[in-house]
Amino acid sequence: MEYIVFALIAYLLGSIPSALIVGKVGYNKDVRQHGSGNLGATNTFRVLGIKAGIMVTLADILKGTLATLIPLLFDADVHRLVIGLFAVVGHTYPIFARMKGGKAVATSGGIILGINPLLFILMISTFIISLYISKYVSLSSMITGIVTVILSFIFQDTGLIIITSLLTVFVIYRHRENLKRIKNKTEPKITWM
């Protein structure tokens, strides 16, 4: 029963459409009607700028982190990584935004932050380095996922290995169109780094 309750809480947290809220409240814009149409941080950066993009990134990370930390408040006997997965599902298929959400990168990172802050710092470092070299947010997200799986093996944490592997496969799947665009050299690159 505890799993059902906390999974539902995590899903509802994940379903909060940060990009939609920031866009409509702060900029009177629906980001779904601009750029890639995606309800994620990358599209928010592209459509609304750096300030809005940072707000959405932090909010999306927080959704994953809260999902893993709330069970601690109730001393619940659940695997917090598993509960965190439901925040990712909510972010990707949000009930509050017609089941069309983001690509799960920031919220996945938030799960890791709630479980292993050191691994989160290593993830962020990997992402920044990869982004600096490639200029592709999508490619950097996928590379970060792969590196995180490798680091999970180094940490020798079976739960992390399983969950980071699942999340990485999901993130790569969500970026399949980006991979095609990278191959065709039509994927947008960042210009600010």
Contacts of 83 (CB under 8 A, 6+ apart): 3, 6, 7, 10, 67, 68, 70, 71
Q: What is the pTM of this model?
A: 0.94
Average pLDDT of the residues of the chain: 95
Please give the Cα distance from 20 to 14 (Å, whole number). Answer: 13
User: Which tokens hold the place of 66?
Assistant: 């809260």
- Residue 36's pLDDT band (boundaries 50, 70, 90)? confident
- Residue 23's pLDDT band (boundaries 50, 70, 90)? very high
Query: How does pLDDT run across 97-154, given as a tens digit for each residue?
Result: 999 999 999 999 999 999 999 999 999 999 999 999 999 999 999 999 999 999 999 9
- Residue 191's pLDDT band (boundaries 50, 70, 90)? confident
In this structure, what are the phi and psi dihedrals at residue 84, rounded to the nearest 5 degrees?
A: -55, -35
Closest to 136 in 3D by CA, of 182, 192, 103 = 182
Query: How does pLDDT run across 57-74, given as a tens digit for each residue?
Result: 999 999 999 999 999 999
User: Which tokens hold the place of 49?
Assistant: 């700028």
Q: What Rg value do the Cα atoms of the chain yield, rounded?
A: 16
Residue 90 contacts residue 13 (beta carbons within 8 Å): yes
